[in-house]
Amino acid sequence: MGYSDIKFLNDSRFLVTGAAGFIGSNLVETILRLGYRVRGIDNFSTGKRENIEVFFQNSNFEFMEGDIRDFDMCMKACKGIDYVLHQAAWGSVPRSIEMPLLYEEINIKGTLNMMEAARQNNVKKFVYASSSSVYGDEPNLPKKEGIEGNLLSPYALTKRTNEEYSKLYKEIYNLDTYGLRYFNVFGKRQDPEGPYAAVIPKFIKLLLNNERPIINGDGRQSRDFTYIENVIEANLKACKASHEAAGQAFNIAYGKREYLIDVYHELCNLLGKNIEPIFGPERLGDIKHSHADISKAKELLGYNPDWDFGKGIRAAIEWYKENL
């Protein structure tokens, strides 16, 4: 279970893009703890310097401040690297609806820059963040790779495009690419601030401050909330996956779903709060229900998540209590 038994060559070098972000900084922390060398790149457009400051004193960590839209920077970042864990992107469905051109630049062009730089530098494995948003309006549950609907946002389109490029890079250039379709990841260092903040950290912060959170819609929407440790496991196992599994995308989740209103009540219960939420309008582009079939990732990546929602939410709450 987990990733503690995954072994790489002692001198293996990892590149984490978006290293100062929520998922990126957790990947950096784990890989350094396992004893390997990590190069991080971030331009701090959404990532935070305080997420990685603690790593600067580690001699196995090297940091480059740079933008994945700059191809020369991507080439420098990939030099001498064995494994690329590409997390740099702009998230948020609602924000992508407001800023489609920026999402095209960062999420599509930036990812293509990284893929091409990885190819030219003979990187062994290119693992990148995709998203459950690629399922669009496909109504069937659980969501299964190969059965996707109409896309509902520019963000979803950027992730679907990444997957198509990934397939081509495997077929044409023989680069081992692996797309990880994350389902509602949560955990330590996830930013609770701002209009596009994810729901769990936002709820926790407001409840800790005795404020009433807003739930978009009726709260009966469901999500396959996925604790960060499961995502770290998926990234590391993708780095060890077979050549035959490359060029594909995989659902990365726990494989169960929680209704948002139930999540809210569970947070109130764990935090000892009795605060009624405010129900607001549904958000444009949102998927109503999300639940992953993770059998493909289990079979081809050896993915076997052991952090369920209950265990993850308790760990997340403890972190926020100490750090907010």
Q: What does the pLDDT look like over 296-310, one tens digit per residue?
A: 999 999 999 999 999
State yes or no: pLDDT of 32 exceeds 60. Answer: yes
User: DSSP letter string over 129-192?
Assistant: EEEGGGGTT---SSB-TT------SHHHHHHHHHHHHHHHHHHHH--EEEEEEE-SEE-TT---
Q: Of 133, 109, 114, which Cα lies nearest the Cα of 283? A: 133
The answer to whether residue 314 is domain-embedded is: no
Which tokens in the block code for residue 28? 């950096």
State yes or no: pLDDT of 159 exceeds 90. Answer: yes
Cα 145 from Cα 143, distance rounded (Å): 7
The two most distant CA atoms of the chain are separated, in Å, by 57
Percent of the chain with pLDDT over 90: 92
Q: How confident is the model over 225-252, as a mean pLDDT?
A: 98
Cα 245 from Cα 248, distance rounded (Å): 6
Helix (H, G, I), strand (E, B) or coil at 63: strand
State yes or no: pLDDT of 290 exceeds 60. Answer: yes
Cα 200 from Cα 315, distance rounded (Å): 12
State yes or no: pLDDT of 285 exceeds 90. Answer: no
State yes or no: pLDDT of 104 exceeds 90. Answer: yes
Cα 286 from Cα 152, distance rounded (Å): 8
Domain that residue 125 falls in = 13-186+228-256+287-307
State yes or no: pLDDT of 1 exceeds 70. Answer: no
pLDDT at 282: 87
Lowest mean pLDDT: which of 45-54, 116-125, 275-284?
Answer: 275-284
Cα 218 from Cα 119, distance rounded (Å): 46
Do residues 246 and 180 make contact, with C-beta atoms less than 8 angstroms apart?
no
Neighbouring C-beta atoms of residue 34, cutoff 10 Å: 17
What CATH number is attached to the domain comprising 175? 3.40.50.720
The answer to whether residue 86 is domain-embedded is: yes
pLDDT at 271: 97
Encode burial over 90-122: b for 16+ CB neighbours within 10 A, e otherwise: bbbbbbbbebeeebbbbbbebbbbbbbbbbebe
pLDDT at 288: 86
The answer to whether residue 218 is domain-embedded is: no
- pLDDT digit string, tens, across residues 201-227: 999 999 999 999 999 999 999 999 999
Q: How confident is the model over 273-280, as a mean pLDDT?
A: 95
**Based on the structure, what is the number of domains in the chain?**
1
What value does the mean pLDDT of the chain take? 96
- pLDDT digit string, tens, across residues 64-88: 999 999 999 999 999 999 999 999 9
The answer to whether residue 170 is domain-embedded is: yes
The answer to whether residue 198 is domain-embedded is: no
The answer to whether residue 140 is domain-embedded is: yes
Side-chain-facing half-sphere of 112: CA atoms under 13 Å: 12
Q: Catalytic site residues?
A: 155
pLDDT at 242: 98
Torsion angles phi and psi, residue 106, rounded to 5: -80, -55
pTM across the whole model: 0.96
Which tokens in the block code for residue 164? 């198509």
Which tokens in the block code for residue 272? 């000892």
The answer to whether residue 24 is domain-embedded is: yes
State yes or no: pLDDT of 284 exceeds 80. Answer: no
Give every CB contact of residue 119 below 8 A, 6+ residues apart in sequence: 169, 173, 175
65 or 284, which is more confident? 65
pLDDT at 67: 98
